[in-house]
Structure 1
Amino acid sequence: MEERPGRFLGVDPGAVRVGLALSDDDARVALPFDTVKREKNDKAAARQVRSVLEAAEVPCAALAGVVVGLPLRLDGSEGEAARRVRRFAEALELTLGVPLHFVDERLSTVAVERTLRTLNVPRAEQRRVVDQAAAALLLQAFLDARGQETWPEADSDEAVAEGPSPGDEPAPAGPRGRERRAGARPRRKRR
């Protein structure tokens, strides 16, 4: 399936709140967007997300896709939480009419909470932004992985060569066969 152009919506669905993030127009950078209180019914929760997008004048038709954090178990298997998220994601896909992408969200909220504490963000503010920041973290991971697939091949004209060019002589070997840095003096033995 050919990829649609546009922005991506990142979703970190929780039992109480749903964190939302949006990519920039070039789908390279994820930004925290909003946090909404989670409706119990999946269809109502999906409609709520659509309403938030519409209120911000982000048309669903302009989205390239929705990236949903899937809460896998630590061993990588899916449990009840992952099944609940998949049901919600299906409702999102039907409501928004855009393709779904799932990313592993294990410990993403924990990582964001740790970062917010390190930055001395007040607790009340942490509660307000943690879900949308987690959604941005998930979305950025997806965008980064997606971007790696479009990097130029190593033998293309666009690729940037790093390191020595073919034919460059290696640095002379020092004691024990290790290479020495160019211009480095040999070490003196300790007595």
Structure 2
Amino acid sequence: MRIMGLDFGSRTVGVAISDALLVTAQGIETIQRKSPGKLRQTLARIQELTEEYQVEEIVLGFPKNMNNTEGERCRSTLEFQELLKKRCNLPVVLWDERLTTVEAERSLMEGGVRREHRKSHVDRIAAVLILQGYLDARAFQAEKSGNSE
């Protein structure tokens, strides 16, 4: 079993995939979108990747505002979630993505990636952070429920 993580943006979708043991997340690509309203090719590529990697669940970054409210980006993410469920026939879990792009940008800066090259990597790294957060929370819950028995 593998889990896919997505960082959904207006121009790109960062994609990450878990290892088979659900311990680590690795970035695999950034899907370039032709325009914000056109999702057919994006959904087709995501479906191809779910089949290629034998994905059984998708984690989609949910861009809440810092004050925990939901803005326009949340509405478009919810619409994308429904399209993903229908297209891929997989569960799609929403995961709080606040500050993942900032953290991705910082890690690229610390890694010495030049400013002009960061943009091509930041969405993929953000997807890794979203998925890794989800995997870590799953592992923590499993450990916690295992210890309480």
Quick one: which of 128, 131, 142 aligns to 2:134? Answer: 142
Task: Report the Cα offset of residue 52 of structure 1.
Answer: 4.5
Quick one: which of 4, 8, 11 aligns to 2:6? Answer: 11
Matched, 1:92 2:87: no
- Give ranges in structure 1 of 5+ residues lacking alignment: 1-5, 157-191
1:101-145 deviations in whole A, cap 9, x for unaligned?
111111210111011111211223312211111000000000000
With over 3 angstroms needed to count, the CA separation of the structure-2 counterparts of 1:43 and 1:88, relative to structure 1, is: farther
Contact 1:43–1:92 under 8 Å retained in 2 = no
Aligned to 1:68: 60
Higher strand share: 2
* Greater RCO (Cα-Cα under 8 Å, separation 6 or more): 2
1:155-180 deviations in whole A, cap 9, x for unaligned?
x6xxxxxxxxxxxxxxxxxxxxxxxx
Matched, 1:27 2:11: no
Query: Which range is displaced more, 131-140 or 143-152?
Result: 143-152
SS in 2 for 1:77: coil
**Superposed counterparts of 1:178-189, under 5 Å:** none
Percent of residue pairs identical: 32
**Superposed counterparts of 1:163-182, under 5 Å:** none
Aligned to 1:50: 47
Task: Report the Cα offset of residue 53 of structure 1.
Answer: 4.8
Amino acid at match of 2:138: R
Aligned to 1:36: 31
SS in 2 for 1:98: coil
SS in 1 for 2:16: strand
SS in 1 for 2:57: strand
Contact 1:43–1:88 under 8 Å retained in 2 = no
Number of equivalences? 145
Amino acid at match of 1:107: L
Higher helix share: 2
Aligned to 1:133: 125
**Distance in 2 of aligned mates of 1:112 and 1:7:** 22
Q: TM-score under structure 2 normalisation? A: 0.89
Task: Report the Cα offset of residue 50 of structure 1.
Answer: 1.9
SS in 1 for 2:142: coil
**Distance in 2 of aligned mates of 1:44 and 1:116:** 28
Aligned to 1:108: 100
SS in 1 for 2:20: coil
- The structure number with the bigger radius of gyration is 1
SS in 2 for 1:125: helix
Aligned to 1:181: none
- Give ranges in structure 2 of 5+ residues lacking alignment: none
RMSD: 1.6
Contact 1:46–1:88 under 8 Å retained in 2 = no
